[in-house]
């Protein structure tokens, strides 16, 4: 078998176009421009690249996009003060604090300071709890991206066996919730899991998010499996060149899988696209404008309702 690549780059482009359309609609109907603030602490090269990409794509989709680049020795109090300012800023709908933060900063104190209505990363315990309870919530971007990519190749997920390797708060745990809600039987595995290869061999879908270069080998996979690779690792090849590899041994896995995401160009671009989608969702739900995004309902709302919503918006703004 030679797996078909799931082209995350192309799928993300479609999602970003949808987001840009929604942004134009919000501007035309409600005079609202969604705002995204991205905060980076320190000079980590990979994080700088991610933050620049997020800010650039937000701007390209029509958002108000702000970047805050703080030195690695910034005090926790100063960071919390910035978050308070962004919470109070009515032109900002989404706040993203790029992780990891330096060791002297309490990550949870920072994440919990973000207004949950602006928590476009879905990391605040309020949103984590709502997601776990099956209530509408801002969900983390990478798990949303993974589910979206899977749905491009399988229409009905119910009854499928999925192994998710990695139990981080950013990917593994929320992804297990989303896939469970979609009807999958989810096994949350990790590096310590005994018989991990055997477990993977039984799965219809394997999601690798362990942060371990080329952990998943071809002979761990059932023929026809769908493989989603969340990993991004730096590796040195046989001639000494640094390259990016995922958590899956791509060439081997491609011989067994039916569909597989490449690294780069798989999950990564979709994660950024979902950050933009979450920011639009935050802008819409914070203002009580969800009717606007329902194409069936749109035409039945008279302009007076639009005016009313605009009034709500202005009230919230004051």
Applying CB under 6 A, the residues found at the interface with ligand GUN are 96-99, 121, 141-142, 170
Of 40 and 248, CB closest to ligand GUN? 40
Task: Verify cis geometry, omega within 30 degrees of 0, for the bond prior to 104.
Answer: no
CB of 268 to ligand GUN, least distance (A): 10
Secondary structure percentages of the chain, helix, strand, coil, to 5: 45, 15, 40
Of 40 and 200, CB closest to ligand GUN? 40
CB of 119 to ligand GUN, least distance (A): 10
| CA-wise closest residue to 313 among 22, 83, 27 | 27
CB of 263 to ligand GUN, least distance (A): 14
Query: Strands, E, within 183-297: which ranges?
Result: 185-189, 205-208, 226-229, 233-236, 242-245, 259-260
For residue 173, indicate whether it is catalytic.
no
For residue 190, indicate whether it is catalytic.
no
| CA-wise closest residue to 78 among 90, 87, 70, 88 | 70
CB of 272 to ligand GUN, least distance (A): 9
Of 25 and 122, CB closest to ligand GUN? 122
Contacts of 174 (CB under 8 A, 6+ apart): 122, 128, 131, 139, 140, 143
The residue number whose beta carbon is nearest to ligand GUN equals: 99
Residue 9: both structure tokens together: 């780059």
Of 110 and 249, CB closest to ligand GUN? 110
Of 226 and 272, CB closest to ligand GUN? 272
Catalytic residue among 57, 66, 93, 98: 98
CB of 235 to ligand GUN, least distance (A): 19
Catalytic residue among 22, 54, 93, 204: 54
CB of 94 to ligand GUN, least distance (A): 11
Residue 184: both structure tokens together: 């999958």
For residue 54, indicate whether it is catalytic.
yes
* Separation between Cα atoms, residue 122 and residue 96, nearest integer Å: 10
HSE-up of 294 (CA within 13 Å, CB side)?
10
Catalytic residue among 93, 119, 121, 247: 121
In sequence order, the β-bridge partners of residue 69 are: 40
Query: Strands, E, within the chain: which ranges?
Result: 4-5, 35-41, 64-70, 94-97, 161-165, 185-189, 205-208, 226-229, 233-236, 242-245, 259-260
Phi-psi region for residue 307, left (φ > 0), alpha (ψ -120 to 50) or beta?
A: alpha
Of 120 and 162, CB closest to ligand GUN? 120
Which residues are catalytic, by number? 54, 98, 121
């Amino acid at each position: 078998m030679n797996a078909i690549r799931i082209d995350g780059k192309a799928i993300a482009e479609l999602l970003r176009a949808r987001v840009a359309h929604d942004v134009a609609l919000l501007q035309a109907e409600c005079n609202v421009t969604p705002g995204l603030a991205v905060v980076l602490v320190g000079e980590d090269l990979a994080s700088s690249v991610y933050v620049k990409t997020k800010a650039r794509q937000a701007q390209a989709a029509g958002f108000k996009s702000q970047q805050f680049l703080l030195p690695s020795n910034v005090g926790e109090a100063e960071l919390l003060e910035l978050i308070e300012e962004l919470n109070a800023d009515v032109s900002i709908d989404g706040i993203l604090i790029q992780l990891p933060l330096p060791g002297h900063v309490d990550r949870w104190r920072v994440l919990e300071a973000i207004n949950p209505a602006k928590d476009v990363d879905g990391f605040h315990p309020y949103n984590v709890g709502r997601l776990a309870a099956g209530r509408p919530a801002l969900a983390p971007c990478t798990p949303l991206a993974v589910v979206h990519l899977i749905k491009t190749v399988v229409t009905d997920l119910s009854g499928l066996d999925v192994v998710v390797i990695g139990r981080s708060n950013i990917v593994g745990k929320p992804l297990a919730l989303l896939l469970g809600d979609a009807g999958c039987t989810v096994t949350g595995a990790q590096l310590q899991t005994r018989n991990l290869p055997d477990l993977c061999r039984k799965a219809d879908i394997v999601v690798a998010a362990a942060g371990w270069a080329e952990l998943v080998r071809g002979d761990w996979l059932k023929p026809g499996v769908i493989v989603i690779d969340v990993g991004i690792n730096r590796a040195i090849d046989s001639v000494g060149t640094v390259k990016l590899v995922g958590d899956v041994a791509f060439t081997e896995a491609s011989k067994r899988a039916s569909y597989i995401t490449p690294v780069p160009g798989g999950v990564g671009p979709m994660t950024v696209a979902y950050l933009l989608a979450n920011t639009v969702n935050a802008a819409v739900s914070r203002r009580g404008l969800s009717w606007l995004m329902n194409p069936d309902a749109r035409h039945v709302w008279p302009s007076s309702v639009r005016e009313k919503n605009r009034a709500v918006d202005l009230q919230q703004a004051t």
